[in-house]
Amino acid sequence: MRIAAHNGARILGGAERATTLLMSALQSRGHDVVMLCNDKRVVDYAHNAGVPARTSVLGGDVSFLSARPFGSALREFGADALIVGTWKKLFMASWAAKANGVATVIARVGLESDTPRSTKYRIALTRWTDGVVVNSARMIEPFATLDGFGPNRVRLVHNGVVAPPRLAADGTLRRSLGISQDAHVVGTVARLATQKRLDKLLRVVARLPDDTHCIIAGNGQERSNLSQLVAALGIASRVHFLGHREDKGDVLQAIDLFVVTSDKEGLSNAMLEAMAFGLPVVSTPVSGAADSLIATATRPEAGIISGFSEDELVRDIQALLKDSTRLKALARAARLRAELDFSVEGMLDGWESALAGMRVAT
Protein backbone atom coordinates (compact mmCIF):
# COMPACT_ATOMS: atom_id res chain seq x y z
CA MET A 1 0.00 0.00 0.00
CA ARG A 2 1.15 3.55 -0.73
CA ILE A 3 0.49 5.56 2.41
CA ALA A 4 0.89 9.30 2.85
CA ALA A 5 0.60 11.21 6.12
CA HIS A 6 0.15 14.91 6.59
CA ASN A 7 1.35 16.79 9.65
CA GLY A 8 0.30 20.42 9.81
CA ALA A 9 1.93 21.44 13.09
CA ARG A 10 4.49 24.21 13.29
CA ILE A 11 6.34 22.44 16.07
CA LEU A 12 8.30 19.24 16.56
CA GLY A 13 6.53 17.60 19.49
CA GLY A 14 5.35 14.21 20.65
CA ALA A 15 2.64 13.87 17.99
CA GLU A 16 5.13 14.60 15.22
CA ARG A 17 7.58 12.05 16.60
CA ALA A 18 4.79 9.49 16.95
CA THR A 19 3.71 9.99 13.34
CA THR A 20 7.29 9.55 12.19
CA LEU A 21 7.59 6.34 14.20
CA LEU A 22 4.35 5.05 12.69
CA MET A 23 5.45 5.80 9.13
CA SER A 24 8.89 4.29 9.72
CA ALA A 25 7.28 1.14 11.10
CA LEU A 26 4.81 0.90 8.19
CA GLN A 27 7.75 1.26 5.83
CA SER A 28 9.51 -1.61 7.60
CA ARG A 29 6.51 -3.81 6.78
CA GLY A 30 6.88 -3.13 3.08
CA HIS A 31 4.55 -0.18 2.52
CA ASP A 32 5.63 2.82 0.45
CA VAL A 33 5.29 5.91 2.62
CA VAL A 34 5.76 9.66 2.52
CA MET A 35 5.22 12.41 5.07
CA LEU A 36 3.90 15.77 3.84
CA CYS A 37 4.49 18.47 6.45
CA ASN A 38 3.91 22.13 7.13
CA ASP A 39 7.21 22.58 8.95
CA LYS A 40 10.73 21.84 7.75
CA ARG A 41 11.78 20.71 11.24
CA VAL A 42 9.36 17.81 11.00
CA VAL A 43 10.63 17.03 7.49
CA ASP A 44 14.22 16.96 8.75
CA TYR A 45 13.27 14.77 11.72
CA ALA A 46 11.52 12.31 9.38
CA HIS A 47 14.52 12.22 7.05
CA ASN A 48 16.81 11.44 9.98
CA ALA A 49 14.53 8.52 10.82
CA GLY A 50 14.75 7.24 7.24
CA VAL A 51 11.22 8.29 6.29
CA PRO A 52 10.68 10.03 2.92
CA ALA A 53 9.26 13.50 3.61
CA ARG A 54 8.74 16.85 2.00
CA THR A 55 7.24 20.22 2.81
CA SER A 56 3.66 20.57 1.59
CA VAL A 57 1.97 23.40 3.43
CA LEU A 58 -1.77 23.35 4.05
CA GLY A 59 -3.31 26.64 5.12
CA GLY A 60 -6.63 27.43 6.77
CA ASP A 61 -10.06 26.12 5.98
CA VAL A 62 -10.58 28.31 2.92
CA SER A 63 -7.01 28.04 1.63
CA PHE A 64 -7.84 26.21 -1.58
CA LEU A 65 -4.66 27.55 -3.19
CA SER A 66 -2.55 25.49 -0.76
CA ALA A 67 -4.83 22.47 -1.14
CA ARG A 68 -4.13 22.25 -4.87
CA PRO A 69 -0.37 21.53 -4.63
CA PHE A 70 -1.05 19.23 -1.67
CA GLY A 71 -3.51 17.25 -3.77
CA SER A 72 -1.02 17.19 -6.64
CA ALA A 73 1.62 15.75 -4.29
CA LEU A 74 -0.78 12.97 -3.29
CA ARG A 75 -1.59 12.23 -6.92
CA GLU A 76 2.09 12.25 -7.91
CA PHE A 77 2.90 9.82 -5.07
CA GLY A 78 -0.05 7.63 -6.07
CA ALA A 79 -1.41 7.49 -2.53
CA ASP A 80 -3.85 4.70 -1.73
CA ALA A 81 -4.40 6.14 1.74
CA LEU A 82 -3.87 9.40 3.60
CA ILE A 83 -3.43 9.69 7.35
CA VAL A 84 -4.30 13.21 8.53
CA GLY A 85 -2.31 13.81 11.68
CA THR A 86 -3.35 17.36 12.55
CA TRP A 87 -7.00 17.91 13.44
CA LYS A 88 -7.09 21.54 12.31
CA LYS A 89 -6.05 20.46 8.80
CA LEU A 90 -8.68 17.74 8.42
CA PHE A 91 -11.12 19.82 6.37
CA MET A 92 -8.64 20.86 3.68
CA ALA A 93 -6.60 17.65 3.71
CA SER A 94 -9.55 15.29 3.38
CA TRP A 95 -11.20 17.37 0.65
CA ALA A 96 -7.97 17.56 -1.35
CA ALA A 97 -7.33 13.84 -0.94
CA LYS A 98 -10.76 12.79 -2.20
CA ALA A 99 -10.59 15.32 -5.04
CA ASN A 100 -7.36 13.65 -6.15
CA GLY A 101 -8.50 10.05 -6.03
CA VAL A 102 -7.17 8.88 -2.65
CA ALA A 103 -9.31 5.87 -1.76
CA THR A 104 -8.94 5.91 2.03
CA VAL A 105 -8.64 8.94 4.31
CA ILE A 106 -8.15 8.38 8.04
CA ALA A 107 -7.96 11.05 10.72
CA ARG A 108 -5.41 10.26 13.41
CA VAL A 109 -6.81 11.94 16.53
CA GLY A 110 -4.46 12.18 19.48
CA LEU A 111 -5.93 14.92 21.65
CA GLU A 112 -9.14 14.52 23.64
CA SER A 113 -10.31 18.05 22.83
CA ASP A 114 -10.25 17.31 19.08
CA THR A 115 -13.89 16.38 18.56
CA PRO A 116 -16.48 17.08 15.82
CA ARG A 117 -18.00 20.07 17.60
CA SER A 118 -18.21 22.39 14.61
CA THR A 119 -19.92 22.11 11.25
CA LYS A 120 -16.66 22.06 9.30
CA TYR A 121 -15.41 18.95 11.10
CA ARG A 122 -18.73 17.18 10.79
CA ILE A 123 -18.68 17.88 7.04
CA ALA A 124 -15.09 16.69 6.71
CA LEU A 125 -15.77 13.52 8.69
CA THR A 126 -19.03 12.48 7.05
CA ARG A 127 -18.17 13.42 3.44
CA TRP A 128 -14.45 12.92 2.91
CA THR A 129 -13.10 10.87 5.85
CA ASP A 130 -13.40 7.10 5.84
CA GLY A 131 -12.45 6.53 9.45
CA VAL A 132 -10.93 7.87 12.64
CA VAL A 133 -8.19 6.25 14.69
CA VAL A 134 -7.98 7.37 18.32
CA ASN A 135 -5.33 6.40 20.86
CA SER A 136 -7.41 6.17 24.03
CA ALA A 137 -10.78 4.60 24.78
CA ARG A 138 -12.31 7.78 26.20
CA MET A 139 -11.95 9.47 22.79
CA ILE A 140 -14.18 7.01 20.91
CA GLU A 141 -17.62 8.28 21.93
CA PRO A 142 -17.78 11.69 20.15
CA PHE A 143 -17.06 10.04 16.80
CA ALA A 144 -19.03 6.83 17.33
CA THR A 145 -22.20 8.83 18.06
CA LEU A 146 -21.79 11.32 15.20
CA ASP A 147 -24.74 11.19 12.79
CA GLY A 148 -23.58 9.88 9.44
CA PHE A 149 -20.42 8.37 10.89
CA GLY A 150 -20.95 5.65 13.49
CA PRO A 151 -18.91 3.24 15.64
CA ASN A 152 -17.81 1.02 12.75
CA ARG A 153 -15.70 3.91 11.44
CA VAL A 154 -13.80 4.46 14.69
CA ARG A 155 -10.84 2.34 15.79
CA LEU A 156 -8.82 2.36 18.97
CA VAL A 157 -5.12 1.88 18.24
CA HIS A 158 -2.78 2.55 21.11
CA ASN A 159 0.51 4.27 20.39
CA GLY A 160 3.56 2.08 20.19
CA VAL A 161 6.79 3.03 21.91
CA VAL A 162 10.25 1.71 22.63
CA ALA A 163 12.30 2.51 25.71
CA PRO A 164 14.75 5.34 24.97
CA PRO A 165 18.34 4.06 24.88
CA ARG A 166 20.95 4.96 27.45
CA LEU A 167 24.09 6.86 26.44
CA ALA A 168 25.81 7.42 29.79
CA ALA A 169 26.45 5.51 33.01
CA ASP A 170 23.97 5.49 35.89
CA GLY A 171 23.98 8.68 37.88
CA THR A 172 25.80 10.78 35.29
CA LEU A 173 23.04 13.33 34.78
CA ARG A 174 22.32 13.66 38.49
CA ARG A 175 25.97 14.36 39.22
CA SER A 176 26.13 16.95 36.46
CA LEU A 177 23.10 18.73 37.99
CA GLY A 178 24.40 18.52 41.55
CA ILE A 179 21.60 16.17 42.68
CA SER A 180 22.59 13.55 45.25
CA GLN A 181 21.92 9.93 44.38
CA ASP A 182 19.62 9.47 47.39
CA ALA A 183 17.46 12.54 46.69
CA HIS A 184 13.92 12.12 45.39
CA VAL A 185 13.47 13.35 41.80
CA VAL A 186 10.18 13.87 40.01
CA GLY A 187 10.14 14.96 36.40
CA THR A 188 8.67 15.03 32.96
CA VAL A 189 9.57 15.25 29.28
CA ALA A 190 7.25 17.68 27.53
CA ARG A 191 6.88 20.72 25.33
CA LEU A 192 6.83 23.81 27.49
CA ALA A 193 3.28 24.63 26.39
CA THR A 194 0.29 25.90 28.35
CA GLN A 195 -1.76 22.69 27.96
CA LYS A 196 0.96 20.72 29.77
CA ARG A 197 0.36 22.84 32.90
CA LEU A 198 3.97 22.73 34.02
CA ASP A 199 3.19 25.77 36.16
CA LYS A 200 1.06 23.41 38.25
CA LEU A 201 3.93 20.93 38.47
CA LEU A 202 6.22 23.68 39.77
CA ARG A 203 3.72 24.75 42.43
CA VAL A 204 3.43 21.11 43.48
CA VAL A 205 7.22 20.81 43.76
CA ALA A 206 7.31 23.91 45.94
CA ARG A 207 5.09 22.05 48.43
CA LEU A 208 7.17 18.86 48.46
CA PRO A 209 10.05 18.35 50.94
CA ASP A 210 13.16 20.42 50.35
CA ASP A 211 15.19 17.38 49.25
CA THR A 212 12.82 16.71 46.31
CA HIS A 213 14.13 17.87 42.93
CA CYS A 214 12.33 18.29 39.62
CA ILE A 215 13.76 17.67 36.14
CA ILE A 216 11.93 19.09 33.10
CA ALA A 217 13.23 18.22 29.63
CA GLY A 218 11.84 20.08 26.63
CA ASN A 219 11.60 23.43 24.89
CA GLY A 220 8.67 25.73 24.28
CA GLN A 221 7.14 29.16 24.46
CA GLU A 222 6.43 28.91 28.20
CA ARG A 223 10.10 28.66 29.23
CA SER A 224 10.40 32.30 30.32
CA ASN A 225 7.15 32.26 32.28
CA LEU A 226 8.10 29.02 34.00
CA SER A 227 11.55 30.34 34.92
CA GLN A 228 9.95 33.41 36.47
CA LEU A 229 7.59 31.19 38.46
CA VAL A 230 10.50 29.10 39.74
CA ALA A 231 12.18 32.26 41.02
CA ALA A 232 8.98 33.52 42.63
CA LEU A 233 8.45 30.17 44.39
CA GLY A 234 12.03 30.11 45.65
CA ILE A 235 12.81 26.67 44.25
CA ALA A 236 15.52 27.51 41.71
CA SER A 237 18.00 25.16 43.42
CA ARG A 238 15.59 22.22 43.05
CA VAL A 239 14.24 22.70 39.51
CA HIS A 240 16.36 21.78 36.50
CA PHE A 241 15.30 22.86 33.00
CA LEU A 242 17.26 20.74 30.52
CA GLY A 243 15.87 22.04 27.22
CA HIS A 244 15.56 19.60 24.33
CA ARG A 245 17.49 16.38 24.93
CA GLU A 246 18.22 13.52 22.59
CA ASP A 247 19.48 11.40 25.51
CA LYS A 248 16.01 10.78 26.89
CA GLY A 249 17.07 7.46 28.39
CA ASP A 250 19.63 9.24 30.58
CA VAL A 251 17.04 11.84 31.56
CA LEU A 252 14.59 9.14 32.62
CA GLN A 253 17.32 7.28 34.54
CA ALA A 254 17.73 10.37 36.73
CA ILE A 255 14.00 10.45 37.63
CA ASP A 256 12.21 8.40 40.28
CA LEU A 257 8.66 9.33 39.33
CA PHE A 258 7.25 10.59 36.03
CA VAL A 259 4.52 13.21 36.41
CA VAL A 260 1.85 14.31 33.91
CA THR A 261 0.05 17.52 34.91
CA SER A 262 -1.74 18.26 31.61
CA ASP A 263 -5.25 19.68 31.49
CA LYS A 264 -5.87 17.92 28.18
CA GLU A 265 -4.03 15.11 26.49
CA GLY A 266 -4.55 12.06 24.38
CA LEU A 267 -2.22 9.23 25.25
CA SER A 268 1.09 10.87 26.16
CA ASN A 269 3.97 9.38 24.18
CA ALA A 270 6.45 10.76 26.70
CA MET A 271 4.57 8.96 29.48
CA LEU A 272 4.58 5.69 27.51
CA GLU A 273 8.33 6.01 26.92
CA ALA A 274 8.82 6.54 30.65
CA MET A 275 6.76 3.42 31.37
CA ALA A 276 8.75 1.41 28.82
CA PHE A 277 11.89 2.60 30.58
CA GLY A 278 10.48 1.38 33.89
CA LEU A 279 9.20 4.51 35.62
CA PRO A 280 5.97 4.69 37.63
CA VAL A 281 3.61 7.54 36.77
CA VAL A 282 1.37 10.00 38.57
CA SER A 283 -1.01 11.64 36.11
CA THR A 284 -3.95 13.98 36.06
CA PRO A 285 -7.13 12.21 34.82
CA VAL A 286 -6.57 12.99 31.13
CA SER A 287 -7.94 10.52 28.62
CA GLY A 288 -4.95 8.23 28.10
CA ALA A 289 -4.30 7.71 31.80
CA ALA A 290 -7.06 5.13 32.22
CA ASP A 291 -5.82 3.03 29.28
CA SER A 292 -2.29 2.84 30.62
CA LEU A 293 -2.30 3.05 34.43
CA ILE A 294 -5.46 1.51 35.95
CA ALA A 295 -5.27 -2.15 36.92
CA THR A 296 -7.49 -4.59 35.01
CA ALA A 297 -8.20 -8.31 35.36
CA THR A 298 -5.09 -9.06 33.31
CA ARG A 299 -2.93 -5.97 33.81
CA PRO A 300 -1.25 -4.62 36.97
CA GLU A 301 -1.57 -1.05 38.17
CA ALA A 302 1.27 0.99 36.64
CA GLY A 303 0.77 4.34 38.33
CA ILE A 304 -1.64 6.66 40.06
CA ILE A 305 -4.37 8.70 38.44
CA SER A 306 -4.55 11.74 40.67
CA GLY A 307 -6.82 14.78 40.32
CA PHE A 308 -6.39 18.07 38.51
CA SER A 309 -5.82 20.01 41.72
CA GLU A 310 -2.44 20.77 43.26
CA ASP A 311 -3.62 19.38 46.61
CA GLU A 312 -4.38 15.97 45.05
CA LEU A 313 -1.10 15.85 43.17
CA VAL A 314 0.93 16.80 46.23
CA ARG A 315 -0.83 14.14 48.30
CA ASP A 316 -0.33 11.33 45.78
CA ILE A 317 3.25 12.20 44.81
CA GLN A 318 4.36 12.56 48.40
CA ALA A 319 2.74 9.30 49.46
CA LEU A 320 4.36 7.39 46.63
CA LEU A 321 7.83 8.84 47.17
CA LYS A 322 7.62 7.74 50.81
CA ASP A 323 6.72 4.16 49.84
CA SER A 324 9.77 2.67 48.15
CA THR A 325 8.22 -0.80 47.97
CA ARG A 326 5.18 0.40 46.05
CA LEU A 327 7.34 2.68 43.89
CA LYS A 328 9.42 -0.31 42.75
CA ALA A 329 6.33 -2.46 42.17
CA LEU A 330 4.75 0.22 40.00
CA ALA A 331 8.01 0.60 38.07
CA ARG A 332 8.00 -3.11 37.21
CA ALA A 333 4.33 -2.96 36.27
CA ALA A 334 4.86 0.09 34.07
CA ARG A 335 7.51 -1.69 32.02
CA LEU A 336 5.29 -4.74 31.68
CA ARG A 337 2.27 -2.68 30.59
CA ALA A 338 4.37 -0.93 27.94
CA GLU A 339 5.54 -4.28 26.57
CA LEU A 340 2.06 -5.82 26.55
CA ASP A 341 -0.13 -2.94 25.42
CA PHE A 342 2.04 -0.33 23.73
CA SER A 343 4.43 -2.22 21.48
CA VAL A 344 5.26 -0.97 18.01
CA GLU A 345 4.17 -4.30 16.54
CA GLY A 346 0.77 -4.05 18.21
CA MET A 347 0.36 -0.50 16.92
CA LEU A 348 1.24 -1.64 13.40
CA ASP A 349 -1.26 -4.50 13.49
CA GLY A 350 -3.98 -2.04 14.48
CA TRP A 351 -3.08 0.49 11.83
CA GLU A 352 -2.80 -2.06 9.02
CA SER A 353 -6.25 -3.37 9.96
CA ALA A 354 -7.66 0.16 9.94
CA LEU A 355 -6.07 1.08 6.63
CA ALA A 356 -7.33 -2.10 4.98
CA GLY A 357 -10.80 -2.11 6.48
CA MET A 358 -11.96 1.50 6.62
CA ARG A 359 -13.27 2.61 3.28
CA VAL A 360 -16.61 4.17 2.48
CA ALA A 361 -18.20 3.21 -0.83
CA THR A 362 -18.31 6.12 -3.28
Query: What pLDDT digit, counting tens, does each position of 213-234 carry?
Result: 999 999 999 999 999 999 999 9
User: Binning pLDDT at 50, 70 and 90, where does residue 359 land?
Assistant: low
Query: What pLDDT digit, counting tens, does each position of 283-315 carry?
Result: 999 988 999 999 999 999 999 999 999 999 999
Instruction: Return the higher-pLDDT residue of 65 and 175.
Output: 175
Query: What pLDDT digit, counting tens, does each position of 159-176 carry?
Result: 999 899 999 999 999 999
Res 91: pLDDT: 93
Res 362: pLDDT: 37
CA diameter of the chain:
64
Helix, strand and coil in the chain, % to nearest 5: 45, 15, 35
Q: What is the pTM of this model?
A: 0.88
Per the CB < 8 A criterion, the answer to whether 251 and 245 are in contact is yes
**All domains of the chain, ordered by start, with CATH?**
2-160+343-357 (3.40.50.2000), 172-341 (3.40.50.2000)
**Strands, E assignment, the chain:** 2-7, 32-37, 53-55, 81-84, 104-109, 131-134, 154-156, 184-189, 212-217, 239-243, 257-260, 281-283, 303-305
Residue 204 has pLDDT above 50, yes or no: yes
Coil vs helix vs strand at 259: strand
CA distance 274 to 24: 21
Compute and round to an integer the Cα radius of gyration of the chain: 21
Residue 361 has pLDDT above 60, yes or no: no
Return the bridge partners of 283, or none.
260, 305
Instruction: Return the higher-pLDDT residue of 274 and 287.
Output: 274
Return the bridge partners of 212, or none.
184
* CA angle (324 as vertex; 318, 326 as ends), nearest 5: 90
